[in-house]
Amino acid sequence: MGYTLAEKILLNHTDKKSIQPGEFIEAEVDLALGNDITAPIAIEEFKKAGFKKVFDKNKIVLVPDHFAPAKDLRSANQCKILANFAKEQDILNYFEVGRMGIEHALLPELGLVSPGLLVIGADSHTCTYGALGCYSTGVGSTDLARAFVDGKIWLKVPASIKFVYKNKLNKWVGGKDLILFTIGKIGVDGALYKVMEFSGQVIRGLSMDHRFTMSNMAIEAGARAGIIEPDEITFDYVRQNQKSTLRLPKNSVTKRGRPAKIFGGKFKNLKSDTDAIYEKTYEWDISKLEPQVACPHLPSNVKAVGELKDIKLDQVVIGSCTNGRISDLRAAAKILKGRKIKQGLRLIVIPATQNIYLEAVKEGLAEIFVKAGGIFSTPTCGPCLGGHIGILAEGEVCLATTNRNFIGRMGNQKSFVYLSNPLVAAASAIRGRITHPKEI
């Protein structure tokens, strides 16, 4: 019996000779991630248990990004806990404001995640890195605390579901539309505690940015991971990011050592076996797929953009770990250039990392957004989780390129959040209602 890619990676991180879905395993972790919401709990448990030193200071990443820059005293205290712990433990990969970014865009950009690794993070969207062909999954803060101690974690081996996308994408359609379409088909529990393996002609033609978007939202279907077999597009991305560093001050954390060299290719056979067993297989011809929009209050409540008429908007958000990369900003800016957003509407644009911020300024994208009537923020999760920089009031309606639209996700429980790709978001900001970009 063959193995799926996810099963191969998990097996490679144990001392076992074989594994099967449903089995509990103790696995060695290559990278353990925490943010300003989840890591303070892990740090407290680590210290409460009497431990003094982490298992490997080079394999822990701490990123204050959710409520950072600190929005209030409580969030400032959370960030301070991370800063103090990083100093105490001499954590190589701690990223303070000015060096940080939204964690799930920052780690791939720095070359910290690569094919074949086992990555855990106390954040549900840690599944993003599966786009690189690693097994990457969200865990609880106490699981993170345990990993701080000995670099290990208990996991139940998930079954895999294969998704095959055929033919070619239409002009206005990308990874966000593919994953929204998929979640709309299978539901928010359609891959509960499973691995979603994305494959087919369409996936092989996607850029890494679009692949990250798809893997990022696997959790919205209940999946433990969203994985894509690495190919030359993957390896080119990894090589490029492991050769470069953030263009930041000389005293930045990257100056202290090359994080990418800490890890690396200990795992070679990075594809599922031909006789691997999948719980289910879905195949779709997506040649006629139109831009998709998730309507309140679930990511599975999906409709084609053309089905939505007269959905008036108070706010549009372009950014997040789902769609805050430079290609997303370029796409939005192409539509917004020389145009103005609808009077009375708020446009908030948030690049996902400092590098993306600098590139957007260099290319004139930031100027386009501001001249259109929007704001251009420092990297942060911001409004995605109802943090800051765009909280919704009662009755307000927002279209966002983020990943969740649960009740109260961005603020008031009587507000409404729709999800779309950046092209739809930009076009809708101009019209003041949900709009197909071809109409602009």
**DSSP letters for 316-363:** EEEEHHHH-SHHHHHHHHHHHTT--PPTT-EEEEE-SBHHHHHHHHHT
Q: Establish if 92 belongs to a structural domain.
A: yes
Supply the pLDDT for residue 190. 97
Q: Which residue, 281, 310, 343, sits at the end of a domain?
A: 281
Give helix then strand counts, H and E, for the chain: 15, 18
Type and span of the H or E element at 103: helix 103-109
Helices assigned H by DSSP within 249-338 = 259-262, 320-323, 326-336
Residues 129 and 9 placed together within one structural domain of the fold? yes
Kindly state whether residue 286 falls inside one of the protein's structural domains. Answer: no
Q: What is the pTM of this model?
A: 0.93
Nearest Cα to Cα of residue 415 among 386, 392, 431: 392
272 is a domain residue: yes
Residue 168 inside a domain? The answer is yes
Domain that holds residue 423: 292-439
Q: What is the pLDDT of residue 100?
A: 87
What is the domain-level CATH number for residue 304?
3.30.499.10
Residues 333 and 410 both lie in one domain? yes
- What the block records as the tokens of 228 is 């894509």
58, 102: one domain: yes
287 in a structural domain:
no
The answer to whether residues 361 and 219 belong to one domain is no
Q: Is residue 75 in some structural domain?
A: yes
pLDDT at 173: 97
Q: Is 360:376 a contact under the CB 8 Å cutoff? A: yes
Same domain, 219 and 311: no
Given 281, 312, 330, the domain boundary residue is: 281
CA distances from 327 to 341, 351, 404, 425 (A): 21, 10, 21, 14
**Which one, of 226, 208, 34, lies nearest residue 127 by Cα?**
226
Burial environment of residue 347 by CB neighbours within 10 A (0 to 12, 13 to 18, 19 or more): buried
For residue 207, which of 243, 231, 233, 178 has the smallest C-alpha distance? Answer: 233
CA–CA distance from 187 to each of 192, 212, 298, 331 (Å)?
10, 20, 9, 28
- If asked whether residues 41 and 122 sit together in one domain, one would say yes
> Are residue 322 and residue 383 in the same domain, yes or no?
yes
Please indicate, yes or no, whether residues 145 and 125 belong to a single structural domain of this protein: yes
Do the bridges between strand 118-121 and strand 159-166 make them parallel or antiparallel, or are there none, so unpaired? unpaired
Residues 288 and 171 sit within 8 Å (Cβ to Cβ) = no
The helix or strand, by DSSP H or E, that contains position 40, with its residue range, turns out to be helix 39-48
- 24/105 same-domain check: yes
Helix (H, G, I), strand (E, B) or coil at 86: helix
Query: 376-392 as b/e, with b when 16 or more CB fall inside 10 Å?
Result: bbbbbbbbbbbbbbbbb
Q: Are residues 176 and 68 in the same domain?
A: yes
The residue type found at 352 is A
Question: Could you read off the pLDDT of 28-50 as tens digits, one per residue?
Answer: 999 999 999 999 999 999 999 99
Instruction: Give yes or no: residues 154 and 118 share one domain.
Output: yes
CA distances (Å), origin 313, targets 215, 387, 389: 28, 20, 17
Tell me whether residue 58 is in a domain: yes
Beta strands 280-285; 159-166: pairing state: parallel
Q: With a cut of 70, list the residues of the chain below it in pLDDT.
A: 243-268
* Per-residue model confidence (pLDDT) at position 268: 62
Q: Which residues contact 5 (CB under 8 A, 6 or more apart)?
A: 133, 197, 227, 229, 270, 271, 272
In a domain, 28, yes or no: yes
* Number of domains within the chain: 2
Q: What stretches of 200-311 adopt beta strand conformation (E)?
A: 225-228, 280-285, 292-294, 302-304
- Among candidate residues 281, 307, 328, the one where a domain is terminated: 281
Indicate whether 210 and 306 sit together in one domain.
Answer: no
Return the pLDDT at 247: 37
